[in-house]
């Protein structure tokens, strides 16, 4: 049975990922179509056509030659344009899905040990992108600019394409942590003091994320890295110390941020409009939901981020508790297979890399669910593979591609019958019989 699971792990990971992404496309369209239709800031080409139609109507009216049939035709053209705009977000997400699958395919073809060998270059690129957020002027008319959205300076816009460096930071730090821990384990030095030299890199990266006012990503990254460290090192006391230090640091940062304090106060109180809208959406959905496209939360535009951070609430309202439970089970099974890949891999770096990527996806998914259901304060936190967003989807797919490569490498060892494999010093792997 275990052998069968090891052989089927790559297929299961790919199937679960594909199903989640395709389901996400359906829900992105369902939750964004009407808001795109109502949106005033439509594309430039649409505004130009409407302007031309209005000018023609004005000239005809001034000349007292307004033909009712001409007016009816112009109104039909306007309506067709507005209906076409319903596909704006959906078409963009389709493009990102295609890019994501291509990126995942490229990552599968790269042998995972290469990521550890090139970790220095990855860190350099990551730091440069993070520094560019603060060095490049924001919201200007240049081809390359920083973008401030909802008070968070987290995006770089390059020739119209937006890139969120913090998504690259998460994957890079997981790779670095796996590489560093595996090197120390090979020397038998995984105690607290041996890990201290790596802390400045983590602190610098997470500190820059906090400077971007992206505290949700910082919390997610700290949680994932602490869990990875705890499982790898096996010393809960050390992780507890690091967790206490990280909690104090985050507490200081949050206490100096009025926006973060306001969100926590809303979470602890009863005046959180966003959370109340999400809870109402779940309650309206019932067991079987109201049907696709019938979400009041999305149609009324009262639920901000219905196609991004709060897409789970739209799933609950339109498809009900039954489908929501299936979705949660899908994430759970994907993480379970990822943990199985980490346990089956006997290479320390590969085992920790698979574990870190699985934790990164799993913690983000369940933190988002906690936020939507009111178990955690609201913050900018997408549901991986499901929510609208290019950077999050692309880097998540790259991470899954790396996970697939680890799984395929383990599967190849099974096929070749490698019985004598160096045991994993972390105890997360096993010798292959």
Is the predicted pLDDT of residue 331 greater than 70, yes or no?
Answer: yes
Quote the pLDDT of residue 163. Answer: 82
Cα 370–376–382 angle (5° rounding)?
A: 55
Contacts of 320 (CB under 8 A, 6+ apart): 285, 286, 287, 288, 289, 290
**How does residue 377 score in pLDDT terms, banded at 50, 70 and 90?**
confident
Question: Residues 173, 202: contact at Cβ < 8 Å?
Answer: yes
Predicted pLDDT of residue 22: 94
User: In this model, does residue 396 exceed pLDDT 60?
Assistant: yes
Sign of CA dihedral 373, 374, 375, 379: positive
Residues in CB range of 319: below 8 A, 6 or more apart:
285, 288, 289, 292
Which pair of structure tokens corresponds to residue 141?
A: 């008319």
Task: Say if residue 191's pLDDT is above 50.
Answer: yes
Q: What is the pLDDT of residue 343?
A: 87
Residues in the chain: 433
Q: Distance between CA 221 and CA 173 in Å, rounded?
A: 9
Band (pLDDT 50/70/90 cuts) for residue 148 is confident
Burial 404-422 (b: 16+ CB within 10 A, else e): bbbbbbbbebeeeeeeeee
Minimum mean pLDDT among 177-181, 304-308, 331-335: which range?
Answer: 304-308
Q: Where are the domains of the chain?
A: 1-34+90-109+275-433
Residue 34 above 60 pLDDT? yes
Tens of pLDDT, residues 211-267? 777 778 888 888 888 888 888 776 666 667 767 777 776 676 666 666 666 666 666
pLDDT of 121 > 50? The answer is yes
Cα Rg of the chain (Å, integer): 24
Give residue 357's pLDDT.
Answer: 94
Cα separation, 32 vs 44, in Å, equals 19
The helix or strand, by DSSP H or E, that contains position 284, with its residue range, turns out to be helix 273-285
The pLDDT mean for the chain works out to 77
Say if residue 73's pLDDT is above 90.
no
In this predicted structure, the answer to whether residue 151 has a pLDDT above a threshold of 80 is no
Using the predicted structure, report yes or no on whether residue 2 has a pLDDT greater than 90.
Answer: no
Query: Between these two residues, 362 and 423, which has the higher pLDDT value?
Result: 362
Six token digits for residue 339: 């943990």
pLDDT of residue 19: 95
């Amino acid at each position: 049975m275990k052998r069968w699971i090891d052989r089927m792990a790559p297929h299961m990971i790919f199937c679960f990922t594909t199903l989640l992404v395709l389901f996400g496309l359906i829900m992105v369209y369902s939750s964004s179509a009407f808001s795109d239709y109502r949106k005033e800031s439509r594309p430039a080409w649409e505004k130009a056509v409407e302007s031309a139609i209005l000018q023609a109507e004005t000239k005809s009216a001034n000349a007292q030659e307004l033909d009712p049939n001409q007016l009816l035709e112009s109104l039909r053209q306007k309506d067709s344009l507005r209906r076409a705009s319903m596909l704006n977000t959906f078409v963009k997400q389709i493009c990102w899905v295609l890019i994501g699958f291509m990126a995942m395919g490229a990552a599968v073809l790269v042998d995972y040990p290469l990521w550890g060998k090139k970790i220095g270059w990855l860190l350099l690129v990551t730091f440069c992108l993070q520094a560019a957020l603060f060095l490049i002027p924001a919201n200007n008319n240049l081809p390359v600019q920083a973008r401030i959205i909802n008070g968070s300076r987290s995006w770089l816009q390059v020739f119209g394409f937006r890139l969120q460096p913090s998504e690259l930071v998460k994957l890079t730090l997981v790779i670095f942590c796996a590489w560093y821990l595996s090197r120390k384990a090979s020397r038998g030095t995984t105690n607290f003091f041996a890990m201290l030299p790596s802390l400045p890199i983590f602190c610098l990266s997470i500190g820059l994320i906090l400077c971007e006012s992206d505290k949700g990503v910082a919390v997610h990254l700290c949680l994932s890295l602490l869990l990875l460290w705890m499982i790898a090192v096996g010393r809960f006391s050390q992780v507890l110390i690091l967790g206490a230090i990280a909690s104090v640091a985050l507490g200081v940062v949050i206490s100096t941020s009025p926006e973060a304090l306001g969100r926590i106060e809303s979470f602890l109180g009863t005046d959180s409009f966003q959370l109340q809208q999400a809870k109402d959406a779940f309650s309206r959905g019932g067991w079987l939901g109201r049907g696709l496209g019938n979400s009041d939360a999305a149609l009324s535009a009262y639920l901000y981020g219905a196609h991004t951070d709060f897409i789970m609430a739209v799933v609950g309202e339109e498809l009900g508790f039954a489908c929501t439970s299936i979705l949660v089970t899908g994430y759970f099974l994907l993480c379970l297979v990822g943990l199985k890949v980490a346990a089956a891999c006997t290479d320390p770096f590969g085992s920790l890399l698979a574990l870190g990527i699985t934790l990164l996806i799993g913690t983000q998914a369940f933190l988002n669910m906690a936020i939507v259901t009111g178990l955690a304060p609201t913050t900018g936190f997408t549901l991986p593979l499901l929510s609208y967003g290019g950077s999050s989807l692309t880097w998540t797919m790259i991470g899954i591609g790396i996970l697939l490569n680890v799984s395929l490498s383990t599967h190849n060892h099974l096929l070749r019958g490698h019985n004598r494999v160096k045991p994993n010093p972390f105890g997360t792997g096993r010798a292959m019989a």
